[in-house]
């Protein structure tokens, strides 16, 4: 299954990258994400690992994610592995005259026998992806205009 979404937001690429490149922010905007724990110490970068707990169709699942590429302010690639799926999230950010253009691509490969359900699951995932992307755009628009190198907090409090 492959999903892609592009949005323009009036925030600088560094602020957008800092927010979306840190998967600890996922529960703030993706309604399927229950919890994210960073399992490696330090700042986010290549090699950072996360445990992502999600809910889909009432079932809870855990994915182990690793940051494969981290190139601020332009790109991040994270790969998640679960018992029944592999997900690759590729995030690219381009500067625009008014801020940034974010493109999020997600490729989810299910293992056998779940793979036979791809067409049906893609329809169900599409609904959740659309909600998540709308929420992400709202979050990004609410971010402060931060300078390069400054940490980016959530637009909402805890």
The reported pLDDT for the residue numbered 109 is 85
pLDDT tens digit string along 69-105?
999 999 999 999 998 889 999 999 999 999 999 999 9
For the chain, what are the domain ranges? 2-142
Q: Are 26 and 91 in contact (CB under 8 A)?
A: no
Residue 112 reports pLDDT greater than 80: no
103, exposed or middle or buried, with CB in 10 Å at 0-12, 13-18, 19+?
middle
Superfamily of domain 2-142: START domain (3.30.530.20)
Please tell me the pTM assigned to this model. Answer: 0.82
């Amino acid at each position: 299954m492959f999903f892609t979404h592009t949005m323009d937001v009036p925030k600088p690429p560094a602020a957008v990258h800092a927010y979306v490149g840190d998967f600890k922010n996922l529960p703030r905007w993706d309604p399927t994400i229950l919890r994210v724990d960073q399992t490696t110490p330090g700042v986010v970068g290549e090699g950072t690992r996360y445990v992502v707990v999600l809910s889909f169709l009432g079932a809870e699942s855990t994915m182990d994610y690793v940051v494969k590429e981290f190139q601020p302010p332009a790109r991040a690639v994270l790969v998640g592995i679960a018992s029944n799926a592999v997900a690759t999230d590729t995030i690219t950010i381009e500067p625009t005259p008014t801020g940034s253009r974010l493109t999020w691509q997600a490729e989810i490969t299910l293992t056998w026998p779940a793979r036979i359900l791809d067409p049906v699951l893609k329809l169900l995932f599409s609904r959740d992806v659309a909600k998540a992307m709308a929420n992400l755009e709202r979050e990004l628009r609410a971010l402060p205009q931060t300078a390069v190198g400054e940490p980016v907090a959530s637009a909402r409090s805890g």
